């Protein structure tokens, strides 16, 4: 169970670690005019996200508190009984820390140990707002449209991609990655429950299916507050007098 909690703690940002954008050479012009508008800056974000994980190992539901401060500070708290955190994740620039209070274990390292290089701000723009697509290395790009949405298809990294972009909100409501050989779905991201914040839209519900991980994760956001002041101390862990420190690789090996 602890392994599931730990992986869910970092899943919210690992699921969106790619950059998302449309290059200026893309046609048709109507799509580019929408997608090339300046991104609304997120100075800070805090709120709750309910995570449901469905996998062959079982189903899990938990709640996380999220705090973000531009440009590169993030804190996640997985809530246990009575709302007491059982896992705390803090990222400050290129450093991360995971603290597990029930075991007094601290895991420290650099963010590049977590996966491909990313910035937290890029993640939030792509994952929470869901308004940009990575087409930089795309081939055979085809765009069609109907009254409500654009459908974009392209090939990248030897895989077929399909995405639907809502015209009114600019949110990518569905993105599929499929095998070119078998047409099997490798990864599916869906966004629903679209809510307007200022002049931008974000999905209140995000689901991510991953074939290789053999799981589906659903994120339901609530009580989100944008651009409110967050005390800098929120991104500093308050550690007990005695705790055990581990490397990420050693800690993950022990959880297997």
Q: Which residues contact 78 (CB under 8 A, 6 or more apart)?
A: 5, 8, 9, 62, 63, 64, 85, 86, 87, 88
Section 6-23 average pLDDT: 45
Residue 122, pLDDT > 80, answer no
Burial class (CB in 10 A: 0-12, 13-18, 19+), 182: exposed
Instruction: Specify whether the CB–CB gap between 42 and 200 falls below 8 A.
Output: no
Q: Any alpha helices (H) in 85-163, and if so which ranges?
A: 120-124
pLDDT value for 256: 60
Length of the chain (residues): 256
**pLDDT (tens digit per residue) in 145-189:** 888 888 888 888 888 999 998 888 888 899 999 999 999 999 998
Fold exhibited by the domain 2-255? outer membrane lipoprotein receptor (LolB), chain A (2.50.20)
Residue ranges covered by each domain of the chain: 2-255
- What pLDDT band is residue 17 in, cutting at 50, 70 and 90? very low
pTM of the model: 0.72
Residue 255, pLDDT > 60, answer yes
**pLDDT (tens digit per residue) in 92-103:** 888 888 898 888
Residue 130, pLDDT > 70, answer no
| 100 vs 89: CA distance, rounded Å | 9
């Amino acid at each position: 169970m602890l392994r599931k909690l730990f992986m869910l703690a970092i899943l919210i940002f690992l699921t969106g670690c790619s950059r998302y954008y449309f290059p200026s050479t893309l046609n048709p012009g109507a799509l580019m005019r929408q997608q090339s508008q300046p991104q609304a800056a997120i100075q800070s974000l805090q709120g709750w996200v309910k995570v449901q994980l469905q996998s062959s190992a079982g189903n899990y539901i938990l709640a996380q508190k999220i705090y973000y401060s531009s440009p590169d500070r993030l804190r996640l708290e997985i809530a246990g009984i009575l709302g007491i955190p059982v896992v705390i994740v803090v990222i400050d620039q290129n450093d991360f820390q995971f603290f597990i209070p029930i075991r007094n274990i601290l895991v420290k390292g650099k963010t590049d140990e977590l996966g491909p290089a990313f910035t937290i701000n890029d993640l939030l723009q792509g994952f929470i707002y869901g308004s940009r697509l990575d087409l930089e290395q795309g081939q055979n790009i085809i765009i069609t449209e109907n009254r409500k949405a654009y459908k974009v298809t392209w090939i990248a990294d030897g895989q077929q991609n399909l995405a639907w972009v809502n015209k009114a909100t600019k949110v990518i409501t569905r993105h599929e990655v499929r095998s070119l050989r078998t047409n099997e779905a490798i990864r599916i991201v869906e966004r629903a429950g679209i809510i307007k914040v200022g002049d931008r839209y974000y999905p209140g519900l995000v689901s991510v299916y991953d074939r290789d991980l053999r799981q589906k994760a659903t994120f339901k956001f609530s009580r989100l507050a944008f651009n409110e002041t967050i005390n800098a101390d929120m991104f500093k862990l308050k550690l007990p007098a005695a705790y055990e420190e581990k490397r990420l690789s050693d800690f993950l090996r022990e959880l297997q």
